[in-house]
Amino acid sequence: MEYLYKCVQIYVDVMNNLYVVPTSRSEKWGGAIMEIDLITQLNSPYTDDELEETLLKAMQLCYTKEPSDDLKSTAIEKFLNVKGYGRAVKDKKLITFEWSKETGFTVTPTCKLQKKGYINLGDNEIFVLGHDFEKDALANAVRECITLSIIK
Q: What confidence tens digit (pLDDT) does each residue in 109-129 have? A: 999 998 889 999 877 889 999
Q: What are phi and psi of 143, to 5 degrees?
A: -60, -40
Q: Are the beta carbons of 40 and 28 closer than 8 angstroms?
A: no
User: What does R_g of the chain's alpha carbons equal in angstroms?
Assistant: 15
Q: DSSP secondary-structure letter at 4?
A: S
Q: What confidence tens digit (pLDDT) does each residue in 43-68 have? A: 999 999 999 999 999 999 999 998 87
Strand runs labelled E in the chain: 5-12, 18-26, 32-35, 40-42, 93-100, 104-113, 117-120, 127-130, 150-151
| Residue scoring higher pLDDT (1 or 39) | 39
* Rounded CA separation 145/84 (Å): 25
- Report the pLDDT value the prediction gives residue 29, as an integer from 0 to 100: 74
Q: What confidence tens digit (pLDDT) does each residue in 18-40 have? A: 999 999 998 877 788 999 999 99
- Report the pLDDT value the prediction gives residue 67, as an integer from 0 to 100: 85
